Structure 1
Amino acid sequence: KDMVDDGLFRRFPVPGIVLGQHVGPLPAGMIGYASGPVMAASDSVQVVLYGQGGHGSRPEAAIDPVLMAAHIVTRLQGIVARQVSPAETAVVTVGRLQAGTKDNIIPDTAELGINIRTYSPQIRDLVRASIERIIAAEATASTAPRPPQVTWNISTPRLVSDPVATEATMAAFTGHFGPERLLPMPLVTASEDVGIFGEAAGIPTVFWFWGGPDTQTVLSAMAEGRLDSLPGNHSPYFAPVIEPTLSTGIETLTVAARTWLQAPPAHSAATSQVPASHQAPGVQTQEMQE
Structure 2
Amino acid sequence: MNPLTAALEPLFAQLQPRLVEIYQDLHQHPELSMQEQRTAGIAADHLQRLGYVVTGGVGGTGVVGLLRNGDGPTVMLRADMDALPMAEQTGLPYASTATATDGDGRTVGVAHSCGHDLHVTWLMGAAQVLAAARGAWRGTLMVVFQPGEETAQGASAMIADWEHLGLPRAEVVLGQHVMVGAAGTVSYRPGVILSAADSLKVTLFGRGSHGSQPQTAVDPVVMAAATVMRLQTIVSREVAPLDSAVLTIGALQAGTKENIIPDDATLKLNMRTYDEAVRTHMLQAVRRICCAECDASGAPRPPEFTTLSSYPMTDNDHDATARVAAAFHAQFGDNALQSKPMSASEDFSVFGRTWGVPYVFWFVGGTDPRAYAKARAEGTLNTLPSNHSPRFAPVLEPTLKTGLQAMLSAAAAWLCAPPEGPRDGNA
Range into which the TM-score falls when normalised by the shorter chain: 0.7 to 0.9
Decide whether aligned partners of structure 1 residues 46 and 214 sit closer, same or farther in structure 2, where only a CA change above 3 A counts.
same
Q: Secondary structure at the match of 1:96?
A: strand
The higher-RCO structure (CA 8 Å, 6+ apart) is 1
1:169 and 2:324 matched: yes
**Residue aligning to 1:280:** none
**Residue aligning to 1:66:** 221
Structure 2 length as normaliser, TM-score? 0.60
Give the AA of the match of 1:244: P
Q: CA deviation at 1:9?
A: 8.6
Q: CA deviation at 1:184?
A: 1.3
Alignment partners' CA distance in 1, 2:362 and 2:245: 22
8 Å CA contact 1:37–1:159 kept in 2: the answer is: yes
Matches within 5 A, 1:123-142: 123-142=278-297
Residue number among 147, 157, 160 corresponding to 1:5 in the alignment: 160
Give the AA of the match of 1:45: L
Alignment partners' CA distance in 2, 1:265 and 1:175: 20
Decide whether aligned partners of structure 1 residues 197 and 122 sit closer, same or farther in structure 2, where only a CA change above 3 A counts.
same
**Residue aligning to 1:209:** 363
**Residue aligning to 1:273:** none
Gapped regions of structure 1 (runs ≥ 5): 267-290
**Residue aligning to 1:274:** none
Q: Secondary structure at the match of 2:269?
A: strand
**Residue aligning to 1:90:** 245
Q: CA deviation at 1:137?
A: 0.4
**Residue aligning to 2:210:** 55
Gapped regions of structure 2 (runs ≥ 5): 1-155, 421-427
8 Å CA contact 1:9–1:201 kept in 2: the answer is: no
**Residue aligning to 1:227:** 381
**Residue aligning to 1:276:** none
Write out per-residue CA displacement over residues 160-188 of structure 1, whole angstroms, 9 at most, x where no aligned residue.
111111111121122222x2211211111
Q: CA deviation at 1:40?
A: 0.8
Decide whether aligned partners of structure 1 residues 11 and 94 sit closer, same or farther in structure 2, where only a CA change above 3 A counts.
farther
Alignment partners' CA distance in 2, 1:83 and 1:114: 17
Alignment partners' CA distance in 2, 1:231 and 1:264: 43
Question: Following superposition, which runs of at least 4 residues in structure 1 exceed 6 angstroms of deviation?
Answer: none
Q: CA deviation at 1:224?
A: 2.2
Write out per-residue CA displacement over residues 172-207 of structure 1, whole angstroms, 9 at most, x where no aligned residue.
122222x22112111111111101111000000111
Alignment partners' CA distance in 1, 2:164 and 2:325: 27
**Residue aligning to 1:147:** 302
**Residue aligning to 2:200:** 45
Alignment partners' CA distance in 2, 1:8 and 1:118: 31
Q: CA deviation at 1:226?
A: 2.2
Give the AA of the match of 1:28: A
Q: Secondary structure at the match of 1:52?
A: coil
8 Å CA contact 1:28–1:213 kept in 2: the answer is: yes
Q: Secondary structure at the match of 1:13?
A: coil
Q: Secondary structure at the match of 2:171?
A: strand
Residue number among 391, 398, 411 corresponding to 1:244 in the alignment: 398
Alignment partners' CA distance in 1, 2:237 and 2:375: 32
**Residue aligning to 1:156:** 311
**Residue aligning to 1:286:** none
The 10-residue stretch of structure 1 (4-13 or 142-151) with the greater mean CA deviation from structure 2: 4-13
Q: CA deviation at 1:10?
A: 7.1
Alignment partners' CA distance in 2, 1:6 and 1:138: 42
Alignment partners' CA distance in 1, 2:417 and 2:227: 53
Alignment partners' CA distance in 1, 2:306 and 2:214: 29
Q: Secondary structure at the match of 1:48?
A: strand
Alignment partners' CA distance in 1, 2:257 and 2:401: 52
Alignment partners' CA distance in 2, 1:183 and 1:170: 9
**Residue aligning to 2:126:** none
**Residue aligning to 2:343:** 189
Structure 1 length as normaliser, TM-score? 0.87
**Residue aligning to 2:185:** 30
Q: Secondary structure at the match of 2:181?
A: coil
Q: CA deviation at 1:8?
A: 5.1
- Give identity over the alignment, percent: 48
**Residue aligning to 2:24:** none
Q: Secondary structure at the match of 1:101?
A: coil
Give the AA of the match of 1:143: G
**Residue aligning to 1:104:** 259
Alignment partners' CA distance in 1, 2:201 and 2:239: 22
Q: CA deviation at 1:254?
A: 2.2
Alignment partners' CA distance in 1, 2:366 and 2:408: 18
Alignment partners' CA distance in 2, 1:11 and 1:98: 46
The 10-residue stretch of structure 1 (21-30 or 213-222) with the greater mean CA deviation from structure 2: 213-222
Decide whether aligned partners of structure 1 residues 8 and 188 sit closer, same or farther in structure 2, where only a CA change above 3 A counts.
farther
Write out per-residue CA displacement over residues 89-144 of structure 1, whole angstroms, 9 at most, x where no aligned residue.
11111112211122222111111111111111111111011100000000011111
Alignment partners' CA distance in 1, 2:233 and 2:241: 13
